[in-house]
Every structure is written in C-alpha cells, then in structure tokens.
Amino acid sequence: MEKPIYLKDSEDAKLFNELRKKVNQRIEAIPENRDIYIQIKAIILPLVYFGLYVFALFNAEKPWVYILSFVLMGISLVLIYLNLIHEAAHNNIYKSKKLNGLVLQIFDFVGANSYIWKKRHIASHHAYPNVDGWDTDIEQSGLLLIVPWIKAKGVQKYQHFFFFLVYPLYLFNWMFIRDFRDFFDKERVILKTQGAIPMVEKVKMINYKLFYFFYQIAVPVLFFKVSIGLALGAWFLQVISASIFALFVLLPLHPLPDNAFPKLDEKNGLPYSWLHHQFEVTNDLQENSWFVRNVLGNFNFHVAHHLFPNYSYLYYNEITEEIEKFAKEHNLAYKRFPIFTALGKHVDLLKQNANNAYFILEE
C-alpha cells in the first residue's frame, strides 16, 4: 500500500526553514554540551533498576521490602524509557550510532523489544502521528476506541466507564501481545512501514522475553527461596506501576479532542503540510519545572520533539520558546495545557468516541 503523502505547501516549507534557522542559532549560542548529562544517566539509571533488583533478592525474607523494590523498579523503568530509550532511538545520546544502539538494547532486558519499538516510533509514529492505520501509537485494540471518526462498537460504547481498568494493563499487553503481534501478525500497522522482519530479530525477541521472565520470576524462586506468589505478585505490581506512570506521561500529548486525527483522501493524501500536521496533532503541557525537565525527560515539550527530533530533550526548553513565539507570529495551532487538564481531555475523547459524537455532528 502507498504511504500517506503530506500536502505540498511551499510557504509552509519556507516557514519551517525559517523556524529551523532560529532554533539552530538559539542552540548554537548555548556554550555547554548538555548531552553529557544524558550520557551520565545512561550509566546511572540502569544501575538503579538492576540495583533495586539485587536489593530485592537479598531482602527476599522481607516481603514488603521485596515488593517495594519491584514497584520502584517499575518507576525506574519508565525513567529509563523517557531519558534513555527514547533518546537513543533518535541517536541523541552519543554521536556514535553503535553506542546509541547499545543503550537502546536496555529495552530488551526490561521486557520490551528494542528493534520493533524503534520501528514503531520512527517509521510509524513520527512519520504519521495520529493518522489511523499508520501510527502504531493509536492502533485500535478492540477494547478502546481512540480515533473519533471510527464508529464505536460493542464494549467501546462503554469505554469511558471501564478504561481505568484497562490502562494499568498497558505494559502487560505490550509484553505478551503487542510485540508478538507486530512480529508475526501480517495485518499489523507496523508492517506497512517496516516490511518483512528478519528471522534473526524474531528469534532474538523470543530469547530476550524468556530471559526477562527467567531473571524476574524464576531466579528469585529457584535461588533465593522467594515464594511463587510473592515473585509473581511483586513482578505484577512492578508492571502495573510502570503502566500507570507511563500512561500518565504519554496520554496527554496526542489523543485529545483538541488534536486532529487527519483522514487520508482517496489518493492517500493528508489534509495538512508536514509542518501544520505536527501542530495539529500534538500539544505541550504547561508544567515546566526542574523535575520535569531533568527527571522526566522534558516530556512536557512534545511539539519540539516532533519538529526537531535530532535535538535531545535537554534543549527543548529553549526550542519551545522559539516555537511558541514563532507560532504566534504565523498563526500556527500551538496548544499547551496543564497535565491534569490534558488527562481530563483524554477522558472526554473516550466519552465522545463512545457516544459516537463525531457521527452526530456530521449528521
């Protein structure tokens, strides 16, 4: 199938070149190389995750210490994703692609799959954000309906009543279903952009998954006398805590009623230019503290990431200042909400989709 085509607009191309020039000048004026801080995190954060694991094993006789350690592993897992995995996929940590690739492989040791995730993120989500059938981040699960112009069916009509039961299972779905379907199901979105997946990657995926469950559950039971119930329960709470934390970060940035879900025309054309598309489908968050910038990987400045993914998140504060000013000057749809407002808007989207509001408005 032919890939989506952005609307060609020479004026928008000139606008983006102008914005890019302003951003590059702003970043070049910064005297320090901030990426060194991410390189330090590339050592510290994995040590924290696996240090908590070792600490749990040597305190296996104290169930609450063991459980708390695994819950904190879930939190640190999300910090690894925000600060390292995401940046390594864009080659923003080191100048060497090989070193970035090594950091990316941390994902394989914590239950995910680095190969398919990078394909999803770069070739699908960044290429066609919020485009149904091409953006894997909004690929429909059957239980929940994210895209407004698809009619709700079955349980989707009640999704606003039970979504809070589904979302904590986000990473379980990722580990047990999503990765496997993306590797082996020919109907999945990723195969439109990725094509055939090498057999060696399929074998690696299965081996990494087996190793993950071996050290997370089997090792504590077999070698540290942890009961099967405690081992499974602590691991379960790790993944639940990571799922909730991850969605708290990811949900407020794209799937909101204020953001567009552009439809393809009969020739696979998109209604916006690439520049306008990024503004229409993405929003920022109001929060801008030291904690958000340095611990949570500046996830609040998501427009900057989609427009300038070649810069690490440590430069997004300055880049966003340039974007916001530029957007006002040129009437671009820059949006920024407080995080809880954005989360509330996501719930509104689920309600609207459940009630088929789009179809009511169309009629």
- Give per-residue pLDDT as tens, 175-208: 999 999 999 988 888 888 877 899 999 999 999 9
What's the pLDDT tens digit per position in 135-191?
Answer: 999 987 778 999 999 999 999 999 999 999 999 999 999 899 999 999 998 888 888
Q: What are phi and psi of 309, to 5 degrees?
A: -70, -10
Based on C-alpha coordinates, what's the Rg of the chain? 21
Confidence at residue 241, expressed as pLDDT on a 0 to 100 scale: 97
Q: How far does Cα 133 stand from its chain's mean position?
A: 17
pLDDT in tens, 203-253: 999 999 999 999 999 999 999 999 999 999 999 999 999 999 999 988 999
Q: What angle do CA 164, 168, 169 make, to 5 degrees?
A: 120
Q: What is the dihedral of CA 237, 239, 241, 245, to 10 degrees?
A: 180
Q: Give the model confidence (pLDDT) of 71-98 as tens digits.
A: 999 999 999 999 999 999 999 999 999 9
pLDDT over 60 at 360, yes or no? no
- pTM summary value: 0.93
- 108's tokens: 């394989």
End-to-end CA distance of the chain: 31
